[in-house]
Amino acid sequence: MQTQTHAEAAVKDRYSQAARAAEAALCCPVDYDPRYLQVIPPEVLETDYGCGDPSRHLRPGETVLDLGSGTGKICFIAAQVVGPEGKVIGVDMTPDMLDVARRNAPVIGERLGYHNVEFRRGRIQDLALDLDRLDRELGGRPVASAEDFLRLESLTAELSAREPLIAGDSVDVVVSNCVLNLVANGEKRRLFAEIYRVLRRGGRAVISDIVSDEAVPEHLQRDPELWSGCISGALTEDGFLQAFEAAGFHGIRILERQQEPWRTVEGIEFRSLTVEALKGKEGPCWERNQAVVYRGPFKEVLDDDGHLLERGKRYAVCDKTYGIFRQQPYRPFFDFIEPREEIPLQAAQPFDCSRTALRHPRETKGMDYDVTTEAVPCCEPGGNGSC
Ligand SMILES: C[S@@+](CC[C@H](N)C(=O)[O-])C[C@H]1O[C@@H](n2cnc3c(N)ncnc32)[C@H](O)[C@@H]1O
């Protein structure tokens, strides 16, 4: 396996060169919306090393963070999708990539008539540490002794806490295009935790990356060329989804999956996957007598909070789960049943979300509910004929 230092050095070297001259081996053909490419200068378009297009899943007004922004193409597309009310931040660790992106940002801003993109230097597995800020603080002083090293450690901790590169709970959408695989395997858990930290509650990650259909063996992981070429660091398809789950995300789904592999190495297929994952299932559970019915088509489903819901049955859920299911991507799969008498949130009792419980219709209607209605005259002339 690549050590953290070897993997990162190989990646930085390769992408420093790839910022200065396009490298064909790193390109994976992607159909971007041509409308958004018109304002982007050729030097950015020619150094496109993406494998998907997460910008298709953005909305006007959003604050977007692009991890491993390279020369900035996804940021410059995102800037147009989110519009002047939105904001885009690109983070990359390679100075040559940042130079191209920063040089072109004002040019594109002029063409659009607004400036809503900025680029920051950092490692995406540590989005708290601002590397430009650290450089200024060090002022060129070398770390030449153990004492210097300890001082450096407390300086980085202090800067990360006081002036984080990206603050916690500050971003609507984290996007990334063909970068997560480049982070050393030992750092990947931290990477997903950082994505989770910077997203606000209700925010989402939309990540395009290269994944493999089988685990990548150690001898391929040791090859720096294959590592920096977005091959050896790829997670397996299910491992990629599990990494989001382990970090606390919910509603994780595949938005796009390349049918034909981008590359095959020793029989292992590598292809692009775009995944969406949501933040916001944590928090208190309150009983407001709400119920949901899973409509199918599957016999049963299990959500990321452990609720097992059988098709057609009426389940008691807490106010938080009710709210989550009412939003995309869950909404089309459920019917929602409000109690006849609303329980205000301030008056709600705690709800035990660790179990899945059915909700008797009487709980929703009230024990005293005793109404009898007349038949609705749906078969009368002028009606739609169905009862
Ligand atoms: C394959 S390129 C993709 C660039 C860009 N997303 C695109 O679509 O063209 C990978 C980029 O990620 C950056 N990168 C790789 N590992 C990184 C890390 N750990 N932290 C920050 N940037 C990283 C590289 O410098 C490079 O610019």
pLDDT digits (tens, 9 = 90+) for 214-268: 999 999 999 999 999 999 999 999 999 999 999 999 999 999 999 999 999 999 9
- The pLDDT value given to residue 382: 58
Ligand 1 center–CA 164 separation, angstroms: 20
Q: Ramachandran region of residue 382, left (φ > 0), alpha (ψ -120 to 50) or beta?
A: left
Ligand 1 center–CA 124 separation, angstroms: 9
pLDDT digits (tens, 9 = 90+) for 153-186: 999 999 999 999 999 999 999 999 999 999 999 9
**Strand, helix or coil for residue 53:** coil
Q: E strands along 248-356, which residues? A: 250-257, 263-265, 268-278, 286-287, 290-294, 300-302, 308-310, 314-317, 334-337, 349-350
C-beta 73 within 6 A of ligand 1:
yes
Ligand 1 center–CA 84 separation, angstroms: 26
Using CA atoms, how far residue 240 sits from 110, 161, 246, in Å, is 39, 29, 10
- Model confidence at 385, pLDDT cuts 50, 70, 90, reads low
Dihedral Cα 161, 162, 163, 166, nearest 10 deg: 30
Two tokens, residue 230: 């977005």
Measure the CA–CA gap between 19 and 103, rounded to whole angstroms.
12
Residue among 15, 32, 67, 120 whose CB has most ligand 1 atoms within 8 A, to mutate: 15
Ligand 1 center–CA 97 separation, angstroms: 8
pLDDT digits (tens, 9 = 90+) for 319-337: 999 999 999 999 999 999 9
Residue for token digits 């419980």? 357
Cβ(116)–Cβ(89) below 8 Å: no
Ligand 1 center–CA 68 separation, angstroms: 4
Of the two residues 281 and 379, the one the predictor is more confident about is 281
- The pLDDT value given to residue 365: 85
C-beta 11 within 6 A of ligand 1:
yes
C-beta 182 within 6 A of ligand 1:
yes
**Strand, helix or coil for residue 16:** helix
Two tokens, residue 344: 């205000």
Give the ligand 1 atom nearest the CA of 70.
27
**Strand, helix or coil for residue 12:** helix
**Strand, helix or coil for residue 211:** strand
Cβ(156)–Cβ(184) below 8 Å: no
Phi, psi dihedral angles at 72 (to 5 degrees): 105, 5
Which residues are 336's β-sheet partners? 292
Q: Taking Cα atoms as reference points, which of 211, 210, 209, 233 lies closest to residue 220?
A: 233
Two tokens, residue 376: 């609705």
- The pLDDT value given to residue 198: 98
Ligand 1 center–CA 4 separation, angstroms: 15
Q: How many CA atoms lie within 13 A of 256 on its CB side?
A: 20
